[in-house]
Amino acid sequence: MTLKNRLTEIVKKAFSDAGYDESLGVVTFSDRPDLCQFQCNGALTGAKLHRKAPMMIANDVLGNLSDNAIFKSVTVAPPGFINIILSDEFIAEEAKKMEKSERLALPVMDKETIVVDYGGPNVAKPLHVGHLRAAIIGETLKRLARFLGHNVIGDVHLGDWGLQMGLIISELFREKPELCFFDKEYSGQYPEESPVTIDDLSRLYPQASARSKEDEAFRETAMRATFDLQNGRRGYVELWKKFLEVSVADLKKSYARLGVDFDMWLGESDADPYVKPLLEILEEKKLTYLSDGALIADVAEETDDEPMPPVIISKSDGSQLYATTDLATIIQRERDFKPDEIWYVVDSRQSMHFKQVFRLAKKAELVSPETELYHVGFGTMNGSDGKPYKTREGGVMSLSVLIESAKAAAKERIDESETAKNLPGSERDKIAELVGISAIKFGDLINHRTRDYIFDLNRFLSTEGKTGPYLQYTVVRIKSLLAKAEAAGVIPGEIIAPKNDTERELLIKLFSVGDVLLRAFDDKAPNAICEVMFDIAGLFNRFYFENKILANENEAERASWISIVSLVRDMLVTLLDIFSTDVPEIM
């Protein structure tokens, strides 16, 4: 149980012992750290319930709290706040517990199985900035859930089954009709080697897509090819496997740079075997009907205050839609994992799609009523004009170009840095990669996921303000301090009762991390974790500038401070790991 929750238990008991409703005893971290460390506002909310002045309630409760040794003081402030300050000895005990625990005394939840569907790249189309958010928000949430003790399965859910595959097949046929993959009569072995490279794919798709817009006949050919592929035409299936191989190898490289990795590399195509069972279930439960040749299902409810169109399951030509694969994938996930929750980390603009899919999944009982299906929607990354981020030419920016530009800008700073400029070029390059990526990530993740934000590389790269490089820089500073301490023979010792306010505030902040993690998990939003990391880093830096840590003559205090500094490092490194972010040795 977190410290805040333990304090809540104590204060709840004090409320009920004084004859008040115990639910009033909720304790929170103080929003005025200059006045107190924790507060309880229950007397204010309880006034109505108990028809009594808040000050009177608060004073009654106070009588049951004041002789507890864990408190330095408990006071009442008008109009009825209960303000709590912990005793310094108790703070030291808590810090020691944290220090001794391998997971820094952070909470573990009751284990659930959670599938996180994130990334969602489309095969044969290069990753663009739109995929950035899905990748980094999803990865962070997956790691957070795992850290809190859940069984988490991350699935990339590739877009590998739609019209884009038929488009590429048809475009390749125009260029190389002689390939055996196109020969219907061919019955031999297909070559091992792929007939296309990733560069070919990146060229073929836009070419095909443009052609299909002008050339009706080409579009029909591509639709036909898609249909043939989905119905198992041997040469097309083999060709498609090659596209997938080449594309996935490339995707893995880009994701690895961002520290993103998936447990499952399944795609929409893997849902195909479940489409038939899905159609049967829907029919058996009488949820579908024909309308203009299309098979559709109603999901509107009486209480809806927005129009809720029916879900289209298949069109008159028999082709399946986005909702069909998502529903079929739910059957697959239920069969393979029996998840308690499935999280879909996908652009908020797809919210209608997910509402429809979730409703139909429940109506058709593809999952139990308790299974939580959750669309973790996110806003867009915008350029300085406030519109979705584009290249200078107005096109979609590829993710690798974005990463390279962040890295190049980070490199310029590293090349000028006093501490790093004399390192060999390859070392500086590695640092630039770490710093550039963390700039992009924290520039994004500091915002609540549902908000749009403006991509501002200069600001994101600054070592001041709420940025990734600031966090990395703080850890570098801590590591260098600890290395100096070691070299000077100053060894860490028992954490003793804090004597100054910054030290107290820093430790109390560390005690709040567990609550922040739980809240971030509930809200499926990592920004609160970023905030607490910046708070910790800020308090540490204040502590560092206010005190001469290594030169402190009081040996016990100096040894305690070194332990606290290592604790801060461990906490920041643990949290950075949830963000899949490493720290360079020097910056």
Report the residue number, 117 or 270, with the smaller CB distance to ligand ARG.
Answer: 117
With H, G, I as helix, E, B as strand and everything else as coil, classify residue 585.
coil
**Which residues bind to ligand ARG, rule: CB under 6 A?**
117, 120, 122, 157, 159, 326, 344, 346
Residue with tokens 């299902």: 297
Nearest approach, Cβ of residue 316 and ligand ARG (Å) = 23
Report the residue number, 329 or 438, with the smaller CB distance to ligand ARG.
Answer: 329
Nearest approach, Cβ of residue 323 and ligand ARG (Å) = 9
Report the residue number, 268 or 433, with the smaller CB distance to ligand ARG.
Answer: 268
Nearest approach, Cβ of residue 268 and ligand ARG (Å) = 8
Report the residue number, 159 or 492, with the smaller CB distance to ligand ARG.
Answer: 159
Q: How far apart are CA 195 and CA 293, in angstroms?
A: 39
Report the residue number, 271 or 476, with the smaller CB distance to ligand ARG.
Answer: 271
Q: How far apart are CA 211 and CA 174, in angstroms?
A: 11
Q: How far apart are the first and last CA of the chain?
A: 37
Q: Which amino acid is at 282?
A: L
Q: How far apart are CA 577 and CA 311, in angstroms?
A: 40
Q: Which amino acid is at 441?
A: K
Nearest approach, Cβ of residue 505 and ligand ARG (Å) = 42
Of 99, 57, 109, 64, nearest to 79 by C-alpha is 57
Of 100, 208, 182, 123, nearest to 566 by C-alpha is 100
Nearest approach, Cβ of residue 122 and ligand ARG (Å) = 5
Q: What is the DSSP letter of 317?
A: T
Beta bridge partners of 295: 290, 314
113, 150 contact by CB (below 8 A): yes
Nearest approach, Cβ of residue 260 and ligand ARG (Å) = 15
Backbone region of residue 153 per phi and psi (left: phi > 0; alpha: psi in -120 to 50; beta: other values):
beta
Report the residue number, 140 or 325, with the smaller CB distance to ligand ARG.
Answer: 325
Report the residue number, 349 or 519, with the smaller CB distance to ligand ARG.
Answer: 349
Q: How far apart are CA 347 and CA 147, in angstroms?
A: 25
Nearest approach, Cβ of residue 362 and ligand ARG (Å) = 16
Nearest approach, Cβ of residue 541 and ligand ARG (Å) = 40
Retrieve residue 161's tokens: 């089954």
Of 579, 435, 582, 470, nearest to 517 by C-alpha is 579
DSSP strands (E only) in 131-267? 151-155
Report the residue number, 330 or 564, with the smaller CB distance to ligand ARG.
Answer: 330
